[in-house]
Structure 1
Amino acid sequence: MLNRIFGQKPQEEPKKDAVAAQERAEGDSVSEQGAVPLKNSLSRTRQIFSRLGDAFRQNEITDTLWDELEESLLRADVGPGTTTWLLERLQKRAAEERMKSGAQVQRALREELVKLLGKPSGLRIATDSPLTVILVIGVNGSGKTTTIAKLAYRLTREGHSVMLAAADTFRAAAIDQLKVWADRVGVPVISQNPGSDPGAVVYDAIQAATTRGCDILIVDTAGRLQTKYNLMEELKKINKVIQKFVPKGPHELLIVMDATTGQNALLQARQFAADIGLTGVVIAKLDSTAKGGFAFAVADDLDVPIKFIGT
């Protein structure tokens, strides 16, 4: 991800033999074909960071470099708190390590950003239960339902038997929208009429998934603001229903965040994390913003892994 943000081509691994090359071409989860859209989606953010090129090529570290770095981080929506921490950390390292060039600062910046993102973290699949439940939450318009379809598609290709639960009974079109995506992906969906109890939908879905031998259930929920008390209480109820019938469930509680809303989405996510807890973040719509640095603010502030980024 950092290579794409800074506009630099990742170093290719040496080819050991023809068989290994073929395996990478056929089986790599980040294939060249799939990486192109992702690279393009980060183009706006990359333009902001690429403007630092001249400053980083200087043979000395000047106040101008620090000013330009601060401006670029803020424009990329890294956030004031994380930006201040990064600058203080880099200035401290520059003094302690006796850095003399912009290139050394650039390397240190990349190292600190990698640390902020943390180690890659995939989806948690249950080992002590035949059914893994993934609960997906977020505000209206964040890309939640589309993300669920992408997750279902990915997990199906990985050999899992996936079922969807349409627990967004608050918005009339939500059930139909999820059914359309389920049909495209080729997975079953459990639903009831609009206005039904979401907890009942989740209960029916758990029973259906168990009966049909599905090993993963992805639960769609109503888009909600963190300030809507009734909807937040409803989410807690759904969580309790899952915990009652699935040991240690939900195994993933993912929040989908719209990258175009930047720091506002971060404020919302803080309250979700405080009320029900989170296991991971999905950042959507990165192709629609120059604020890809928002990902670093998320990792720094929420202290949960970013599971996926997408368009």
Structure 2
Amino acid sequence: MPAPPPAPVAAPVAVVEPAPIATERKSWFDKLKTGLRKTGTGIQAVFVNAQIDDALYEELESALLMADTGVKATEYLLDDLKVRVKRQMATDAAQVKLLLADAVTDLLKPLEKPLVIGEYTPTVIMVAGVNGAGKTTSIGKLTKHLATEGASVLLAAADTFRAAAREQLLVWADRNTVEIVSNEGGDPSAVSFDAVNAGKARGKDVVLVDTAGRLPTQLHLMDELKKIKRVVTKADATAPHEVLLVIDGNTGQNALAQVRAFDETLGLTGLIVTKLDGTAKGGVICAIARERPVPVYFIGVGEKLEDLETFNAREFAQALLG
């Protein structure tokens, strides 16, 4: 009679190293990691030669707040991390750092959402943002991204409020070799209306409407944004299909305030977060995830056309925590 098989021995719970980044995204990940260095350095420093004790969590709290993660997201992440540390029976700071990356990934995961093109022809995308956030530049980069994916794009220069905005968009249109509808000094709503009709007539896949730079406190200008949206709907009853806000990562908690204000005015469907390579405040994406979870379609870490990429929660968390 064969001997009974030995009873299974419970394996110790191990902290699993994150999966490697896919090869085609590796160069982007390296760029993102470099870009987030200012934000991540203070957080990563907490784990150097640290013990798992109250002091570690207090220092981590300070580091997260300094990165503009915000009070609510910081409290949420710390509570989540403590549960993970206990459950995994982590014994050293390096494991805790990996678990924090998991916690950040799970917090940011709901913000991951692809920009869908093709459900409507054309897909009308309204783009808003305060002056200086990198709105028009981001439209140029987004045009490049869409063209690379095979989509035909028509630009609408509806930022007639800011001097030189039209000229700036014309440069981006020329670089991307795409058509543009503009009217110097014209009414932004009229330009938007004409562009949507032109997009339909010319069979374009996407119409990108560059709206004027706004401060949420400028109520008359915010009202004009509402008007543009109404007029776009008159040109196409299903449009706009996307309403994006470009925010500057440097502005930290102010960026969160902008997301709230523009979402209340326009009903945002997505965000583009720019200039993450020049800021120590990149943790604001965590604050957005906790307090106003509007999807982040793209993030930017540089000035080149290709320096705008789709947002991936795991990549962001890994790049942030080194």
Q: Give TM-score scaled by structure 2 length.
A: 0.82
- Work out whether residues 124 and 252 of structure 1, in 8 Å CA contact, stay in contact via their aligned partners in 2: no
Could you tell me which residue of structure 2 aligns to residue 19 of structure 1? none
Match of 1:176 among 167, 184, 195: 167
Could you tell me which residue of structure 2 aligns to residue 88 of structure 1? 79
Match of 1:166 among 129, 144, 157: 157
Inter-partner Cα distance in structure 2 for 1:171 and 1:193: 11
- Work out whether residues 255 and 284 of structure 2, in 8 Å CA contact, stay in contact via their aligned partners in 1: no
Could you tell me which residue of structure 2 aligns to residue 122 of structure 1? 114
Deviation at 1:104, TM superposition (A): 4.2
Pair 9,92 (structure 1): closer, same or farther in 2 beyond 3 Å: closer
Q: Structure 1, residues 146-180: CA drift from partner, whole Å, max 9, x if none?
A: 00000000111111100100111111211111101
- Work out whether residues 134 and 218 of structure 1, in 8 Å CA contact, stay in contact via their aligned partners in 2: yes
- Work out whether residues 47 and 93 of structure 2, in 8 Å CA contact, stay in contact via their aligned partners in 1: no
Deviation at 1:261, TM superposition (A): 0.8
Letter in 2 for 1:54: V
Pair 252,142 (structure 1): closer, same or farther in 2 beyond 3 Å: same
The DSSP-based 3-state class of the residue aligned with 1:220 is: strand
1:238 paired to 2:247: no
Letter in 2 for 1:142: A
| Structure with larger Rg | 2
Query: Segments of 4+ in structure 1 off by > 6 A?
Result: none
Inter-partner Cα distance in structure 1 for 2:93 and 2:36: 23
Pair 67,139 (structure 1): closer, same or farther in 2 beyond 3 Å: same
Inter-partner Cα distance in structure 1 for 2:204 and 2:42: 45
Letter in 1 for 2:114: G
Inter-partner Cα distance in structure 1 for 2:273 and 2:21: 27
Deviation at 1:93, TM superposition (A): 4.3
Q: Structure 1, residues 182-229: CA drift from partner, whole Å, max 9, x if none?
A: 1111111101122x2111001110121122221101110111011111
- Work out whether residues 154 and 199 of structure 2, in 8 Å CA contact, stay in contact via their aligned partners in 1: yes
User: Does 1 or 2 have the higher relative contact order (CA < 8 Å, sep 6+)?
Assistant: 2
Letter in 1 for 2:242: E
The DSSP-based 3-state class of the residue aligned with 1:307 is: strand
Identity level (%): 46
Match of 1:52 among 46, 58, 64: 46
Could you tell me which runs of 5 or more consecutive residues in structure 1 were left unpaired when the two chains were aligned: 1-7, 14-23
1:111 paired to 2:102: yes
Could you tell me which residue of structure 1 aligns to residue 319 of structure 2? none
Inter-partner Cα distance in structure 2 for 1:160 and 1:31: 25
Pair 207,248 (structure 1): closer, same or farther in 2 beyond 3 Å: closer
Match of 2:255 among 265, 290, 298: 265
- Work out whether residues 135 and 250 of structure 1, in 8 Å CA contact, stay in contact via their aligned partners in 2: yes
The DSSP-based 3-state class of the residue aligned with 1:224 is: coil
Could you tell me which residue of structure 2 aligns to residue 37 of structure 1? 31
Letter in 2 for 1:131: P
